[in-house]
A and B are shown apart, each in its own frame.
Chain A
C-alpha cells in the first residue's frame, strides 16, 4: 500500500529565509504523482506544486520548488524567501491509481510551518 511520511510536525523559519519541508513516500508503482498542498487556518487546501514520477526536472512554481530524489523516494518542498502568509499546515500527497484512470490522494500527516517576523 502506498504511504506518505512527513516527519516534521512543526517547523519555524525566519521571514525571508528558505525552508525545506520533508516528505518521503512508499510505493511499488512505477508511475505516480506527488503533490504539495497548503492549508491555512481557514481550512481550504491550496494546491502548490506537482511532480510526476517520470518528470526529469524538479518542479518549480514561483517561490515553491520540489526537490525530487526518486532513488531515495523523497519529495521535499522548498519555500524560498518565506513570507508571513506562508504560515500554515503543509501536506504532501501521492496519487494512488484507482479504478480505470481515476485516482485518490493519500496524504501525509502534515507539517505546521510558522514564519517569524
Chain B
C-alpha cells in the first residue's frame, strides 16, 4: 500500500524553528514530487510548497506568503522529504500534511502532524 507518514511536529516557541519529515512507504518517494499543505484548526487547506525529484533538479516552488521562512528539501537516503520552518508565528499553528505530487494532483496524503506555536 502506498503511504506517506509525517513526523516531527510538536510545541515550539514563537520565533523558533522546527523541521518536519515525510517518509514514503510502499513506493520510492524519490521518484515523485512532494508537496506540503497545512490546515489550521477549523480552517481550510493552504498549499505551502513543492519539491520536484532528482531528475528535475529538486526544483522548489513556494506560496508567496510563506517564501523565505519555509524551506523544502529531500533526504534520499531516508526516502523522505523535509519541511524546515523558521521564524515561527502563532498563526503557523496547524496540522501539516505532506502529499505526493502525481502530475498536477495530490495523492496520497499523509495523516498529518500537528505543529503548535505558543509561549
**Chains A and B come from one and the same complex:** no
